[in-house]
Structure 1
């Protein structure tokens, strides 16, 4: 439960005086009474749906009538995806997490329905579902192997309870944002978005983004379960009963989707249901600098100037609540930021984009026009009596837009025009669980607060999603030529359609550094590919070493942002002095060199729904030890990142996936599967590149030049790598270059093909071979000079052929990486 700590109380007094502590006391007592009354008037009786009394087949589904009213529907959406739903005539809630229209997936599939004395059987070419006459269900592979079974479900008032049979030796992943290791088996976890209160560490639950979706991994076949339900709930993964997953929801839709396949297939199918992220503006993949404490234009200009002085690239500066007028939404403090429009234009000329914070709570102040307009049009969440529901946040008493209403959604979207007119390029949604200040208990609105379709109990988790949807509409309507950049603290399944996220107010500690890895991985396995922590931790002051190791890790995560609380020491890349400034400069510059690769991974996320950061077992099932690794990850298919997560460590151990892996820094080779030792001097993060990969890297000093790093494959055959390019913003032409690497004895061929009409953006290509001695080369049939294991061409080739000495390691290591 949330309890206001001394740190939180200090911030509140600092922000608005002693009244900012008195208000939460009154609100906490009032809310406790409201929630108690809500629970006392909620039906808590349990009731089974009852036995199946009738079955009606229909195309690719079957509908079953249940003894105690209502019905069960089992529908094969694809060969490997089943939707299971229970319905009552009086029950309807919108499927907020789903895309509006599901695109056709693959060829048509046939589903057969047969019956036995004890069950009905539905079967596709990949999956078999048994509906037992008792009301239970079971899911099987075609060979008959049981994946899981669902005991007869139980209704409890407006909610329900499901219990799944769990096989032995499984691992469980997903469920959104979690402050635990990667494997969630053995834990009981809440589904209720929550602000932990300014600082959190390992074991805090729940956090800001809860997704009712999980993946069960085993040696034979993995499966995914997703509940399209945004009500409050709780899931136990074998915590009370080791072979049972227990699912409880206090309300909402009783429907889940069951999918089988390997991890890439599961994420493709899940994001087919809930949506895939649009391509971000390319600048969003650069470095972001933020701080609660950039109090005026002078300070922001000073920070931007220092980046130029130290020759450290930066793509965005974030403005926290310091820039607002008394914390009011869409406002600017003109004393501190008198010429924000001019500042934004100056920074944009330098390639720096301004991102501003925005909270959903509207100050309940009669002299605030947004509040007056909202009251006049009845735009806010209400109490049971119909009055606007008020809760204390940073400005004091606030009311909250009811985003479940389309007119409120459109009204809020129009307000972003004020930000865009000032030159703001991105928005940062904070406090949007929605959060409220309390002394104890749940820091949000009362469970019985009223949205247009029902109680807050069922709409709390979807609040951040709907706010992000309104912001996305604002970008589409008001800046149609630019791609949106929205950063949202809260959300649920489907948030990836509109926004990125970050891991909130994580503490500054070595344990929290490690925690960031598993948190981002589980978000990715929950369909949310764009996330990252506040570098160095939000609360507390990291040592120079901890800051640097955190920066090195974050350089390979989707969101690369430093941010910290107002009472922490400054944390710009130069704040710790030498040698840390030089080391920080080097790793940030490397991030920009990797942008062609990262941008291609963004295209993969948009096209397939795959996470940018992936677990080591992404495409592997052996060795099983890989599934336990939560302190290293894959960046796409090619790069393995092994961050240093222990103080004063200068080396680390790692379990490698199968194949040959090359050390990024010195080209030495490692062979998996199995354990390996990696050196980790203070200025370097251990990086490995998979054999057969083609890693594109930019020259940040000469943007017209591209490096293609080829990592010599030890086995015969072929492998394809892709490179996606476009203008970096907007919705113009694109191109997708496919590089097929073929090994034939002592020869390597790189065969290129392309799609799209966007012009190739580079005038010079340097192809570098790693892992073998390059002796001869031809480009499109013309011999070309080899120098230090690389070739240089001034045109985009169709075919490049290398003659190599496969038995020799490269004597003169090439470090041309920029």
Structure 2
């Protein structure tokens, strides 16, 4: 929920006025984002300085980086190359004589880490992001996995590394540059443009004295004072304090930003750096004809009614970028949680000659290249480089550092119903009954802030919800759950037990003096914010979820973390001031983008330890950073009920998934406003293919439960939601895959078809896993859609099994009751096809296998099954099987890794029972001659029909179980 930005009132009348204004903003009285509430790069001092430095470099003929490595200092030892990095333009170095330290780590995953930090600074730079983001200490490449340092005739040092020696890192000392090559082809280059800039920490008083002395000396000696250019003057702006609107950032440590350019050589498409409401393939922010003039900003903010096609910062930040071309794939992770800006410029250049005239004369096709400029306000320069060679390798390498998505409970990937707010316990009962009455399945009902006693979290409004535990048990009897909202701001109230305990335990964020608790304005009025960097605060926060503390909660109750950017109505840019202090005397500016993740983590800890039933938690978070996926789901924030927001949801979710957070969704129907029936229906049809599937609406929006618009919309929405439930076994298997190797669940087309240049910029259709092609309808009145069918195989409509042959774009019917969704030839998808009221009610249902044969008559697929609730899967209590059709035989076999079952652990009765559930139907697509199916000596009849150019063969009751080995001869 996004809110306004006003200064904290100081009188009762002002409080009332502020409350009215906040409510007016919340009720949608403002029609678009208030851009003036949020900084541009020019208003962010460190961004402006570093961008000015880039302009200076561009305007200076034959510009070279002033940074040089001392070649004699370079060492390679145990997988780490280290050396001294000097800025030859600096007039004075620290006493050590070493301005910066350079380290390059060769990791055992074949990723590379580059770190640049100050040596002996006057104050230590913050270097704690790694302690939160990285999941464990990583290993280094052994000497057998890389060659010793070698030097060529130009003094360039090289090391070959990788399992097959396919990668090379070349280090140029003067000017400083690090180049990564794959099989001899340049792919990623650090500081190629010479934009490395490092604002070393300094003493404000000493610098002022120095400036005075220089001026006096110049006058005495009659020196000629050279007038500085406008660009050079910008390099000296807003160094020691900075004002934005009514707020002043004191910046007690002074300027400490840094920036560096990163080139993706031979690559014209780059992706990632969420969250932005923009295209999947990132648009240029620099250069001729750049669509954007502002850099992409990473700074978690509560942006009211965010605009689309805009690089403005939103709720989450992940500084991960992937580049892809037909010949190469690479990615970088800029591990920094401070405010960060990224410029993107796409160019065409000939690496061989560099002569534009020669290119024109010889008609040589120039090499596409993407140049990026990364700028962070504080911390250390810490970047990981991933060279694949495949995208799956990159996802695995990245996930080995920041972790994979937590395996959710099975209910969490079903349908969630939410609005701000379901008003009373009776309202909840009526909405629940409405789903049953209209035969629409759902699993979770949500309560927003109005369920509390005066915005006091962990409480209930007794008048509206007199028996919350009974309410949850009533839902639980149908296999359903409830979610309540809990935000990080705590109402200042000595009579409120959470507020009182927080004060007594001293767990709130401090003002810049480091002594007094920060006091800001949010939903409850004057509030304090929990300091989740304090271990004591995290443990205390988690303990508040215990049933004896969160009175009225049960094991059926889960949590929604909102407003955790953090959103502060009275703060600069509607967030917390940068100079407030966290545990360990850490300025907030260093960790801003991680705050929401820390909150998310502590809440997940609380739900995990609150009982003895071994439950997995479910926590939804609005703010996110790298590593958030380890704790739960996120969503794209407060969108709007417009066709444009439906359209932008797909590229936003694809981007977030690429950056390592696959469990994400967008509010179905749009949070703000009132969707017309067609828009709502189309959003449901798209939303069933979001990993996180939730309908949500604003307090001021009209009620829009799925049956309220009448026919034909109720039937169309029912059919869409039931389709989600039909595919739940497939979705659950994809989540298990993501939890193991970091693969996105919904995937851009280029991840499955990496050599097809037609899909590199495509974001209006996508893949679910490797098997389903989805093309949402995102325009009003559309009944036909252009769908691109990649590859040289067939695609089968999931409803009528009609067939399309790739490759190529075709116009496909998309009537009001469906959108184009196709199963890829060569895949097998497990389904459950009996309509039920919830996913829990389906757990004993039989399975259907839909087998789409490729041109060779082959197909494969997987199914993962566990109890859907506990952590027992971590000790091997699960089934993981592969189905395969090859040489006319459909087989099933166990693919659980050897030793997965913990010693002394037995497969639970639940998993055994689920594994014994029968396969009630085989649907075989693309087989023209199938007549019988033999299982041993038994023959099973086959019914085949021809529809829309495709043979659809159905085998009923093959008398095999989902969890057993079998071989079926297809004849």
Q: Is residue 2:824 matched to residue 1:690?
A: yes
Residue matched to 2:893: 752
Q: Tell me: CA distance 1:168–1:185, structure 2 relative to 1, closer, same or farther (3 Å).
A: farther
Q: Which moved more, 1:397-406 or 1:42-51?
A: 42-51
Q: Which moved more, 1:334-343 or 1:412-421?
A: 412-421
What CA distance in whole angstroms lies between the structure 2 residues aligned with 1:595 and 1:24?
39
What CA distance in whole angstroms lies between the structure 1 residues aligned with 2:931 and 2:139?
50
Residue matched to 1:671: 805
Deviation at 1:352, TM superposition (A): 1.3
Residue matched to 1:268: 396
For residues 537-570 of structure 1, the C-alpha deviation after alignment (integer angstroms, 9 at most, x for no partner) is 0001111000000001010111111001000011
Query: In the TM superposition, what are the counterparts of 1:790-805 in structure 2 within 5 Å?
Result: 790-791=954-955, 792-796=957-961, 798-803=965-970
Q: Is residue 2:550 matched to residue 1:390?
A: no
Indicate conservation of the 8 Å contact 1:48/1:154, yes or no: no
Indicate conservation of the 8 Å contact 2:270/2:370, yes or no: no
Q: Tell me: CA distance 1:325–1:708, structure 2 relative to 1, closer, same or farther (3 Å).
A: same
Residue matched to 1:112: 148
Indicate conservation of the 8 Å contact 2:851/2:859, yes or no: no
What CA distance in whole angstroms lies between the structure 1 residues aligned with 2:927 and 2:16?
67
SS of the equivalent of 2:633 reads coil
Of residues 93, 100, 109, the one that matches 2:127 is: 93
Indicate conservation of the 8 Å contact 2:330/2:386, yes or no: yes
Residue matched to 2:567: 435
Q: Tell me: CA distance 1:684–1:243, structure 2 relative to 1, closer, same or farther (3 Å).
A: closer
For residues 270-293 of structure 1, the C-alpha deviation after alignment (integer angstroms, 9 at most, x for no partner) is 111101112100001111000002
Residue matched to 2:489: 361
What CA distance in whole angstroms lies between the structure 2 residues aligned with 1:142 and 1:240?
23
Residue matched to 1:55: 74
Tell me the number of residue pairs that the alignment of Structure 1 and Structure 2 aligns. 787
SS of the equivalent of 1:461 reads helix
Q: Is residue 2:892 matched to residue 1:765?
A: no
Residue matched to 1:250: 377
Indicate conservation of the 8 Å contact 1:629/1:655, yes or no: no
Deviation at 1:390, TM superposition (A): 1.5
Residue matched to 1:815: none
Indicate conservation of the 8 Å contact 2:167/2:184, yes or no: no
SS of the equivalent of 2:373 reads strand
Deviation at 1:665, TM superposition (A): 2.1
SS of the equivalent of 2:418 reads strand
The CA RMSD measured in Å over matched residues stands at 3.1
Q: Which has the larger radius of gyration?
A: 2
Residue matched to 2:861: 721
Deviation at 1:772, TM superposition (A): 2.1
The TM-score, its normalising length taken from structure 2, stands at 0.77
Residue matched to 1:460: 592
Residue matched to 2:878: 734
Q: Tell me: CA distance 1:534–1:419, structure 2 relative to 1, closer, same or farther (3 Å).
A: farther
Q: Which runs of 5+ in 2 are unaligned?
A: 25-33, 54-64, 87-97, 200-254, 286-294, 349-368, 836-841, 902-906, 945-952
What CA distance in whole angstroms lies between the structure 2 residues aligned with 1:22 and 1:706?
54
Deviation at 1:389, TM superposition (A): 1.4
Q: Tell me: CA distance 1:710–1:104, structure 2 relative to 1, closer, same or farther (3 Å).
A: farther
SS of the equivalent of 2:380 reads coil
Deviation at 1:208, TM superposition (A): 0.5
Deviation at 1:666, TM superposition (A): 2.1
Residue matched to 1:282: 410
Residue matched to 1:82: 112
Residue matched to 1:128: 168
For residues 593-644 of structure 1, the C-alpha deviation after alignment (integer angstroms, 9 at most, x for no partner) is 1111000001011011111110111132232111121111101111111111
Deviation at 1:657, TM superposition (A): 1.4
Deviation at 1:173, TM superposition (A): 0.8
Indicate conservation of the 8 Å contact 2:4/2:574, yes or no: no
What CA distance in whole angstroms lies between the structure 1 residues aligned with 2:147 and 2:854?
43
For residues 630-678 of structure 1, the C-alpha deviation after alignment (integer angstroms, 9 at most, x for no partner) is 1111011111111111111011002221021112222222122211221
Query: In the TM superposition, what are the counterparts of 1:12-411 in structure 2 within 5 Å?
Result: 17-20=16-19, 50-53=68-71, 54-67=73-86, 68-78=98-108, 80-88=110-118, 89=120, 90-94=124-128, 95-102=130-137, 109-116=145-152, 117-124=154-161, 125-134=165-174, 135-151=176-192, 152=194, 153-156=196-199, 157-187=255-285, 188-198=295-305, 200-203=307-310, 205-238=312-345, 243-261=370-388, 262-385=390-513, 386-411=515-540
What CA distance in whole angstroms lies between the structure 2 residues aligned with 1:466 and 1:576?
41
What CA distance in whole angstroms lies between the structure 1 residues aligned with 2:347 and 2:49?
25
Indicate conservation of the 8 Å contact 2:321/2:332, yes or no: yes
For residues 184-221 of structure 1, the C-alpha deviation after alignment (integer angstroms, 9 at most, x for no partner) is 13142001011112554442621101111110111211
Deviation at 1:39, TM superposition (A): 7.0
For residues 674-733 of structure 1, the C-alpha deviation after alignment (integer angstroms, 9 at most, x for no partner) is 1122111100121111111111001334743110111121126x5531100011110231
Q: Tell me: CA distance 1:155–1:411, structure 2 relative to 1, closer, same or farther (3 Å).
A: same
Q: Is residue 2:630 matched to residue 1:497?
A: yes
Q: Is residue 2:942 matched to residue 1:786?
A: yes
Residue matched to 1:811: none
Q: Tell me: CA distance 1:93–1:341, structure 2 relative to 1, closer, same or farther (3 Å).
A: same
Q: Tell me: CA distance 1:719–1:272, structure 2 relative to 1, closer, same or farther (3 Å).
A: farther
Q: Which moved more, 1:181-190 or 1:632-641?
A: 181-190
For residues 778-800 of structure 1, the C-alpha deviation after alignment (integer angstroms, 9 at most, x for no partner) is 12453222234222223326344
Q: Which moved more, 1:468-477 or 1:581-590?
A: 468-477
